[in-house]
Structure 1
Amino acid sequence: MSRALIVCLTLLLAACATSRGPQPDIGRPLTVLISIDGFRTDYLSRGDTPTLSALAAEGATGSMRPSYPSVTFPNHYTLVTGRHPDHHGIVGNSFIDPVLGRFTMANKEPRFWDQAEPIWITAEKAGLTTATMFWPGSETELQGERPTYWAPFDQAVTGDQRVDRLLGWLDATPRPDLSTLYFDTVDTVGHSFGPDTPEVDRALTDVDASVARLIAGLQARGLWERTHLIVVSDHGMAQTSPERVTHLDDLVDPAFVQIIYSGSAVFLEPTAGREDEVRRALVRRHAHGECWTRETIPARFVLGTNPRVPSIVCAADVGWLFVPRTRTVTRVGGAHGYDNAAPEMQALFIAHGPDIARGVTLRDMDSVDVQPLLGRLLGIEVPPGDGRAEDGLAAMSR
């Protein structure tokens, strides 16, 4: 996002870039960051989300470019750290750290997460109170800090139950200054059925109703008029099919590689002694995708300097999958992880509240821009990230 757009977003009636100690609860603004996993930006125009559409019309909105790879854990950490995955260390939903070993989405080991500081840790260190409802990374203690209120992820907890848990935290003392809320059903249904299906429409309606429930709860507590609501997604969704599959076994001998993960993006390591053969077989343009060495990944992906990035990364064309024959694709569905510039991967961004400009349509929004915006709304200094430089700080202040 351009620096002018940040100025346009934050009217700075109450926000200033100075850290502060604990303040009385009465009259303090509230910032709520909501993620709707897999909410493709054009879903907003389907007519299934009247609450979200009203927030967008009354505030600032636009398509948001995710980081690459456009998958859940890297992008959720980008949203709260302001850094691309190559710089915050969560480079995929699964990867191998040279020292720590394999990372999976269930891993709470702090050393996997400590290459960057999420906004809730920054806020707690500044004397604010935070609450995180299922945000990736929020279950891990970093720098001796945790959110004041948090919960371990449980997919069985419904959207309305998540809202009610958050509202309960807002009734507690101290009341959170920053809260996060995560919904996964749009992504889950999109994977199972594909993006352009009645099932996704119903999931959109359900999550919109949960957001409406949150707003009603804020209104009942007299908090709505001083709440900044930032609604984002981590990536979009593309249609897949069993007819659009490239088998990795047809490109390289499976005995020559360790596949870390596969699908829309592939992370793999050559078997010791087979490096040259694997590079010759894979590193080129293929019929429905392309593979690079870590050193030759296109610069626009901002990926390749972190040692957690594997030796070879492949990107399938949108709608195609790169998988081994041991992974059978039998049904039409949806996937993400593709080129972060692809229209199908563009994510949702909505900002609404007293310090947000009204009726603004954003251009060139990037997910690394969300963390500095949150810092401005909270009135705290945030660690430098990829979303702004020192001249950007000056442009944001008046």
Structure 2
Amino acid sequence: MAVVCRWMVLVAALMLTTFAASSPAEAAKRPSKPGLTILISLDGFRPDYLDRGNTPTLSALAADGARGAMRPSFPSLTYPNHYTLVTGKRPDHHGMVNNTLEDEAIPGDSFSMSNHKAVGDGRWWDQAKPIWVSAEQQGVHAGILFWPGSEARIDGVRPSRWKVFDMKVSSNDRVDTLLSWIDAKTPRLGFATLYFDRTDTEGHHYGPDSPEVNAAAAEVDAAIGRLVAGLKARGLYRATNLVVVADHGMAPQPLSGLVEVSTLVDPAKVKFVSTGSIVGVRALPGFEAEVAAAMLKAHPHLTCWEKGKIPARFGYGTNPRVPPIVCLADLGWYFVTASALKKRLEEHPRDGGAHGYDPFDPAMRAVFVAHGPAFRRGVVLPVFDNVDVYPLLTRLIGVKGDKGDGSLGPVKAALR
């Protein structure tokens, strides 16, 4: 009998211990499965656009969350920096070293944003693994809408949901597409992206201080308001972390700042791998010394380097895809081919805007806003590098990311 009594006491004690551990107070302390994280890109959206009175939704999210200004990676162009944001690596390390590039390992082809075949070819992207691939490999489903790289199979993986980029799809329709993916529930998304190009497009056409840019900012703000309303209607808003970023800023670029590249070197002796604010030059065989002498001398409004001598602060020049000579234009200057100049004068014969300039120039800074259960309220972060967004995302999504060039430290103050 004494043995039976002791056994009953032990069972009762175990039941009480189990009940205590399962009490509501204890359960609330347990880490819950991360909710949805949505990364939103507003291409070419400068931090100061938030202060123009055209963005009530974004301004409210910033006031109730965190905001800051990001320094883009070099070069401050669209594809390089979008891929930096989702890999945590600078362009020199993830391989997307420009919007246009060549690779001896991919002979007979070149990469550009308009080359749809190349955009969907994983060989151009596989020097780094974007966060949606890591998420999928670790059981977190991703819906990636129009983010550079999402159209390719990388490391053998595609996101659970994605679409081929179509610039004609309206801002509201992009939001509705994402909401439809969320409604599908199978697979349940843990990470998603949205991409809006309106502010960049109008910034190029009319300049960053134009009424057209203000209208574009208001349009994308309304689309984000539509997303917020959709999340609220579905009971998901309080459990969703929103991270709003841009790839770069925008600077005024007057017509008087357009220069033909033929004034720099004989175009019959070189291949211009890239033009614009970043000029990449590869000499044709037999003209290497002549082209180097022409390009590396002093030029008005343009500084050129051999790829191994680019200033260290840019973190650029070791990747095989970087052309032998790289030139950076002064702010507001833009170096183009004769055909590109003719097209510009025909289609947009007015002052406009451009980016790709020194990422340390304030005009190149990109917006950052973060809101949701993971973030503190009313935080304003000092300027930080955009490579620091990736470790923040891995933290929010709950996946182990690859080693990158950034750290959580500069953005940690925004987290609860």
Please name the residue that 1:161 is paired with.
173
CA change 1:164–1:397 in 2 (3 A) is closer
Q: Which of residues 117, 121, 126 is equivalent to 1:114?
A: 126
Partner Cα separation in structure 2 for residue 296 and residue 77 of structure 1 = 24
- Partner SS state of residue 178, structure 2: helix
Q: Which of residues 293, 296, 309 is equivalent to 1:280?
A: 293
Partner Cα separation in structure 2 for residue 246 and residue 200 of structure 1 = 25
Deviation of the 1:256 alpha carbon: 1.7
CA change 1:284–1:367 in 2 (3 A) is farther
Partner Cα separation in structure 1 for residue 283 and residue 70 of structure 2 = 35
Gaps of 5+ in 1: 1-12, 17-22
* Residue identity (%): 53
Partner Cα separation in structure 1 for residue 334 and residue 402 of structure 2 = 37
CA change 1:284–1:61 in 2 (3 A) is farther
CA change 1:198–1:14 in 2 (3 A) is farther
For the aligned residues, what is the CA RMSD? Answer: 2.3
1:230-245 aligned within 5 A? 230-245=243-258
Task: Report how many residues are paired.
Answer: 376
Partner Cα separation in structure 2 for residue 343 and residue 298 of structure 1 = 19
Partner Cα separation in structure 2 for residue 373 and residue 337 of structure 1 = 25
CA change 1:327–1:292 in 2 (3 A) is same
Please name the residue that 2:378 is paired with.
359
Equivalent AA in structure 2 for residue 224 of structure 1? Y
Deviation of the 1:324 alpha carbon: 3.0
Please name the residue that 2:111 is paired with.
103
Partner Cα separation in structure 1 for residue 147 and residue 45 of structure 2 = 16
Partner Cα separation in structure 2 for residue 14 and residue 318 of structure 1 = 52
Please name the residue that 1:56 is paired with.
62
- Partner SS state of residue 349, structure 1: strand
1:124 aligns with 2:146: no
1:74 aligns with 2:87: no
**Normalised TM-score (structure 1):** 0.90
Q: Deviations over 1:193-220 (max 9, x none)?
A: 1111111111111000000000000000
Q: Higher mean Cα deviation, 127-136 or 357-366? A: 357-366
CA change 1:95–1:14 in 2 (3 A) is farther
8 Å CA contact 2:243–2:370 kept in 1: the answer is: yes
1:139-178 aligned within 5 A? 139-172=151-184, 173-178=186-191
Higher relative contact order, structure no. (Cα contacts within 8 Å, ≥ 6 residues apart): 1
Gaps of 5+ in 2: 1-27
8 Å CA contact 1:66–1:235 kept in 2: the answer is: yes
Q: Which of residues 343, 346, 359 is equivalent to 2:362?
A: 343
Equivalent AA in structure 1 for residue 244 of structure 2? V
Partner Cα separation in structure 1 for residue 263 and residue 218 of structure 2 = 42
Equivalent AA in structure 2 for residue 112 of structure 1? W
Deviation of the 1:272 alpha carbon: 1.2
8 Å CA contact 2:375–2:414 kept in 1: the answer is: no
Partner Cα separation in structure 2 for residue 151 and residue 42 of structure 1 = 31
Partner Cα separation in structure 2 for residue 323 and residue 29 of structure 1 = 46
Equivalent AA in structure 2 for residue 237 of structure 1? M
Equivalent AA in structure 2 for residue 257 of structure 1? V
Deviation of the 1:246 alpha carbon: 2.9
Equivalent AA in structure 1 for residue 99 of structure 2? N
Q: Which of residues 387, 390, 395 is equivalent to 1:371?
A: 390
8 Å CA contact 2:42–2:246 kept in 1: the answer is: yes
CA change 1:140–1:14 in 2 (3 A) is farther
Deviation of the 1:245 alpha carbon: 2.5
Deviation of the 1:132 alpha carbon: 0.5
8 Å CA contact 1:15–1:377 kept in 2: the answer is: no
1:175-254 aligned within 5 A? 175-254=188-267
